[in-house]
Structure 1
Amino acid sequence: MAEEFATQKAKASAWFRALRDDIVAAFEALEDSHTADTPAGRFEVTETSRHSDDGSDAGGGLMSVMRGGRVFEKVGVNISTVYGQLGDGAQRAMAARGVPGMADDPRFWASGISLVAHMQNPHAPAVHMNTRMFWTPHAWWFGGGSDLNPCIEYAEDTAHFHATQKAHLDPHGLDHYPKLKAWADEYFYIPHRNRARGVGGIFMDDYCTGDWDADFTLTQDIGRAFLPAYVPLVETRRETPWTDADKDTQLIHRGLYAEYNLVYDRGTKFGLTTGHDANAVLMSLPPLAKWV
């Protein structure tokens, strides 16, 4: 069983790296194909690391961030594979989510990809995507999804984003898309603002049917859906003329995005409480935002 888990972990970690490479290449291609007087943006890649309380290695990853591009004002595509022992607070959180035995054996392993893009043009939508695998000696599961966050919504963009997600999920069962869409609507909701963060997408968490191969394939297809769901929207909206009022709308919407990520997002909380690189964890925050 240990050997089987090792193989599964290696497959998952390799997949997240391959997806990261595809997205980075696609986003740099968008920069190259956009006409502007400024240089095309490129990702700056930094290795990240995590250490246990005793100073021993506990994994790490790659933080890839592009700032000030032609199309992207700021975009980060991070991958990580971390491991070690969960602290008391994280153990309690796992127990609350129904994971038994954490006090007796608090080991964990987690790997995933996380992406957030903030755009130069207010008409081009911001977006978030992540997928991950989490393992303990007592349970394993997958999670993640993607959601669209336009500050100026176009109904046809929203329809395309959702239709592409649905097309990738339907081969796994026609119940998957409506279930994961409803999950995203619930998860990406900001109670103190009484509104959604954006126009939704798909999301799952603690997902484990007991069939690792089937669950991993579903997770891969969630990742595969991202580029065809998002890139055409950027290609359409990056040329749209915009005004100072449009930019103001964008900055206010970014404030909403920052509130959600700092107050409610599980990934942010997990990354900070388990000692991962704070810059990588907070990569999702926009470069500029505004509150009224």
Structure 2
Amino acid sequence: MDMIDERREAALWFRNLRDRIVEAFEALEDEAAGGTPGRFEVTPTQRANDGGGGIMSVMRGGCVFEKVGVNWSEVHGTLAPRAQAAMAARGVPGMDSDPRFWASGISLVAHMQNPHVPAVHMNTRMFWTPNAWWFGGGADLNPCLEYPEDTAHFHDTLRDACTPHGADYYDRFKAWADEYFFVPHRGRARGVGGIFYDDLNSGDWAADFAFTRAVGEAFLPAFVPLVRHRMAREWDEGHKDAQLVHRGLYAEYNLVYDRGTKFGLETGHDPDAVLMSLPPLAKWV
């Protein structure tokens, strides 16, 4: 079950999605009034062990985006013992005896200049082992100042993306996001949710890949209108303080609980790429 063609197709699509999101975000920078439009700094990445790497694209200090990373990767090799044990514990077939793997995907986190504009996270990915394959991903919105209409638009767009692929997909994956993006030691969610899914293998690779593409394609329609609507709104130091405190919550979650952060560091991926999700500034009270 080498799935060479399928893996190549998935990796190329994740790369194309990365390119389109980078272009859309730089266009938002061009639309912003005042200041010099931000641009992404693009850096190739390489795994410390085994093979593969990716592209780390980070914009800092833009007019709209204070810090945003849009990363793409395609990696392969042998899982380290801790990662192998974690995969075996999840029930991945053959993982206890054969730790080879391949993975590709896109990962995005945006922290905004204007506190009225929500932070956001999105990723989609494919994972392969000699005895199994699956897709995962999702998107969630993280406002420090919540606007119910923004939350509704984000969720409605994701619901529209999910429904053609499974009548219960949105409800299932929304509930999964509510559980996954919960911060136990704070007793609250890190944002207003979205969708999250993992280990998706219905037995029909083309169908599961089509759903994963739908999730990726829904991201810009779900998020960009919110940015355009809020990015010129006036804010004060109280708004900024609320944003920095919320970023502290975001950082706590990503460092303590996020599965992708743990996997990236344990498999030897570039730590700067793995940790690009952290905000440039945060505050704890």
1:244 is aligned to 237
Query: How much does 1:104 deviate?
Result: 2.1
Amino acid at match of 1:29: A
Verify: 1:42 aligned to 2:39, yes or no.
yes
Identify the match of residue 115 of structure 1 among 97, 103, 108: 108
Verify: 1:168 aligned to 2:168, yes or no.
no
Amino acid at match of 1:44: E
What stretches of structure 1 of length at least 5 have no aligned partner?
none
Task: Judge conservation of contact 2:48–2:270 (CA < 8 Å) in 1.
Answer: no
1:222 is aligned to 215
1:121-160 → structure 2 map (5 Å cutoff): 121-160=114-153
Q: Output the CA distance in 1 between the equivalents of 2:99 and 2:224.
A: 40
Task: Judge conservation of contact 2:56–2:72 (CA < 8 Å) in 1.
Answer: yes
Verify: 1:102 aligned to 2:98, yes or no.
no
Query: How much does 1:101 deviate?
Result: 2.0
1:231 is aligned to 224
Q: Output the CA distance in 2 between the equivalents of 1:81 and 1:175.
A: 30
Q: Determine what percentage of the aligned residue pairs are the same residue.
A: 71
SS in 1 for 2:144: coil
Verify: 1:213 aligned to 2:206, yes or no.
yes
Verify: 1:92 aligned to 2:85, yes or no.
yes
Amino acid at match of 1:60: G
Q: Output the CA distance in 2 between the equivalents of 1:101 and 1:88.
A: 14
Q: Output the CA distance in 1 between the equivalents of 2:25 and 2:63.
A: 11
Query: How much does 1:11 deviate?
Result: 0.6
Query: How much does 1:182 deviate?
Result: 0.5
Amino acid at match of 1:191: P
Residues 254-276 of structure 1, C-alpha deviations (whole Å, 9 max, x = no match): 00000000000000000000100
SS in 2 for 1:51: coil
Query: How much does 1:168 deviate?
Result: 1.0
Amino acid at match of 1:39: T
Which sits farther off after the overlay, 248-257 or 166-175? 166-175
Q: Output the CA distance in 2 between the equivalents of 1:24 and 1:251.
A: 25
Query: How much does 1:205 deviate?
Result: 0.8
Q: Output the CA distance in 1 between the equivalents of 2:208 and 2:197.
A: 11
2:15 is aligned to 17
1:273-288 → structure 2 map (5 Å cutoff): 273-288=266-281
| Structure 1 consecutive aligned stretches of length 4 or more whose deviation exceeds 3 Å | none
Query: How much does 1:214 deviate?
Result: 0.3
User: Could you state the TM-score of these two structures normalised by the residue count of structure 1?
Assistant: 0.96
Residues 94-143 of structure 1, C-alpha deviations (whole Å, 9 max, x = no match): 11100132232110001010000000000000000000000001111100
Query: How much does 1:91 deviate?
Result: 1.1
Which sits farther off after the overlay, 14-23 or 96-105? 96-105
Amino acid at match of 1:234: V
Residues 26-74 of structure 1, C-alpha deviations (whole Å, 9 max, x = no match): 00000001111x110000000000132xxxx510000000000000000
Q: Output the CA distance in 1 between the equivalents of 2:86 and 2:104.
A: 18
SS in 2 for 1:185: helix
What stretches of structure 2 of length at least 5 have no aligned partner?
none
2:52 is aligned to 59
Task: Judge conservation of contact 2:126–2:135 (CA < 8 Å) in 1.
Answer: yes
Amino acid at match of 1:11: E
Task: Judge conservation of contact 1:51–1:59 (CA < 8 Å) in 2.
Answer: no
1:76 is aligned to 69
Residues 194-230 of structure 1, C-alpha deviations (whole Å, 9 max, x = no match): 0001000011011111110000000000000000000
Q: Output the CA distance in 1 between the equivalents of 2:85 and 2:157.
A: 37
Q: Output the CA distance in 2 between the equivalents of 1:133 and 1:101.
A: 18
Task: Judge conservation of contact 1:147–1:201 (CA < 8 Å) in 2.
Answer: yes
1:27 is aligned to 25
